């Protein structure tokens, strides 16, 4: 029983991070029907920006005196950086192809993914970069069950970001404009909504969430690598499809399911094939339930 509860804790931690990444896929698809295959690179860029900022602060002694201030400051700066990066990518790679064929946009997304990944490799090197270890020690022990401080932090930040996104989308004027643009770009433009600005904002929000997941993954596993965005990006895409691509709530649920399945498969079956399950789920959903468990592009929940 203790092992089962421990796996649930691990699954919730990992699933929450997948949910943050999946939200970027589903938001962008919901508003312009584009699968942004460069989204995983925003996640990787966030991981690298986090390690750069935290290593700089640690080298100057700030991590010893104000560790939590440094962490949340680095988190905010990382999210801001990746938001601006995503807006630049949207302007360069996607906006000129707004009315082009879907194949052209898809090729542009794949090309931008390769470009960003190789940019990380050339600027940061091919070797792993280690995160500072100030936050990796200690936790709460309940017999054989351990809830590390890092897991508590990840779950708390993930819940805060998910609740913040939900409030932004459904309770603010920006969120109303995003949902209106997703539903009908022409009519939203006629009532004064700047669709280009809303699309850029959507890219920025999705990338900021992916950046937060990147820095937390780096802290959780202790290091980052230039190609770290590929596999989590594919798993997050599977989570978005599982929940219903374009459906915000579905992306959250799908991320949690993918994380739980991966952790339980690694714990009870084999850790060597833990990455396979996301692809099996993706294929099964596309075959048996192509609109996902919560439906695709539902008007009152999509972005």
Q: Which string of b and e fits 250-279 if b means at least 16 CB within 10 Å?
A: bbbbbbbbbbbbbbbbbbeeeeeebeebbe
Report the predicted TM-score, pTM, of the whole model to 2 decimal places.
0.90
Which residue shows structure tokens 């990796």?
136
DSSP element (H, E) containing 131: none
In the beta sheet, which residues pair with residue 145?
Answer: 142
What's the pLDDT at 134? 75
Provide φ and ψ at 224, rounded to 5°: -130, 160
What's the pLDDT at 80? 96
What's the pLDDT at 295? 66
Q: Which of 227, 233, 241 minimizes the C-alpha distance to 213?
A: 233
Provide φ and ψ at 213, rounded to 5°: -65, -40
Q: Could you give the residue ranges of the DSSP H alpha helices within the chain?
A: 2-32, 39-59, 62-65, 67-89, 102-124, 149-171, 173-183, 185-190, 195-221, 230-243, 248-268, 276-288
Structure tokens at 117: 């990944």
What's the pLDDT at 299? 44
Distance between CA atoms of residues 66 and 20, nearest Å: 27
Provide φ and ψ at 127, rounded to 5°: -95, 155
Determine contact, residues 229/42, Cβ cutoff 8 Å: yes
223-224 and 145-148 strand pairing: unpaired
Determine contact, residues 34/105, Cβ cutoff 8 Å: yes
CA 2 to chain CA centroid, nearest Å? 30
Distance between CA atoms of residues 281 and 184, nearest Å: 31
Distance between CA atoms of residues 228 and 226, nearest Å: 6
What's the pLDDT at 74? 93
Determine contact, residues 286/235, Cβ cutoff 8 Å: no
What's the pLDDT at 302? 46
What's the pLDDT at 297? 53
In tens digits, what is the pLDDT along the chain, a chain of 303 residues?
A: 777 888 888 889 999 999 999 998 999 888 888 888 899 999 999 999 999 999 999 888 888 888 889 999 999 999 999 999 999 999 999 999 888 888 888 899 999 999 999 999 999 999 899 998 777 777 777 777 777 888 888 889 999 998 999 899 889 999 899 988 888 888 888 888 998 899 999 999 999 999 999 999 999 888 999 999 988 888 998 898 888 888 888 888 999 999 999 998 888 887 777 788 888 888 888 888 888 887 655 444 444
Determine contact, residues 57/24, Cβ cutoff 8 Å: no
Query: Dmax of the chain from CA atoms?
Result: 62
């Amino acid at each position: 029983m203790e092992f089962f509860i421990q796996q649930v804790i691990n699954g919730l931690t990992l699933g929450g991070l997948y949910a943050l990444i999946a939200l970027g896929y589903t938001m962008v698809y919901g508003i312009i029907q584009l699968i942004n295959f460069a989204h995983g690179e925003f996640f990787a860029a966030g991981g690298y920006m986090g390690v750069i900022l935290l290593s700089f602060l640690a080298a100057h002694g700030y991590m010893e005196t104000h560790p939590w201030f440094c962490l949340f400051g680095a988190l905010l700066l990382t999210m801001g950086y990746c938001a601006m990066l995503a807006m630049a990518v949207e302007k360069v790679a996607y906006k000129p192809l707004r009315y082009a064929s879907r194949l052209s946009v898809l090729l542009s997304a794949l090309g931008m993914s390769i470009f960003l990944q190789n940019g990380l490799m050339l600027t940061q090197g091919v070797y792993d970069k280690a995160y500072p270890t100030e936050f990796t020690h200690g936790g709460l022990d309940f017999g054989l069950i351990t809830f590390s401080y890092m897991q508590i932090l990840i779950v708390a930040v993930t819940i805060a970001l998910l609740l913040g996104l939900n409030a932004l989308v459904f309770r603010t004027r920006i969120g109303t404009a995003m949902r209106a643009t997703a539903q009908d770009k022409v009519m939203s433009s006629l009532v004064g909504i700047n669709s280009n600005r809303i699309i850029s904002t959507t890219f920025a929000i999705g990338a900021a969430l992916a950046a937060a997941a990147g820095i937390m993954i780096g802290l959780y596993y202790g290091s980052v690598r230039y190609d770290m965005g590929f596999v989590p990006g594919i798993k997050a895409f599977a989570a978005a499809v599982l929940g219903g691509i374009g459906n915000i709530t579905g992306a959250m649920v799908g991320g949690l399911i993918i994380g739980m399945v991966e952790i339980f498969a690694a714990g009870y079956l084999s850790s060597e094939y833990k990455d396979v399950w996301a692809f099996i789920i993706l294929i099964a959903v596309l075959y048996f339930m192509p609109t996902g468990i919560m439906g695709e592009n539902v008007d009152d929940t999509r972005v």
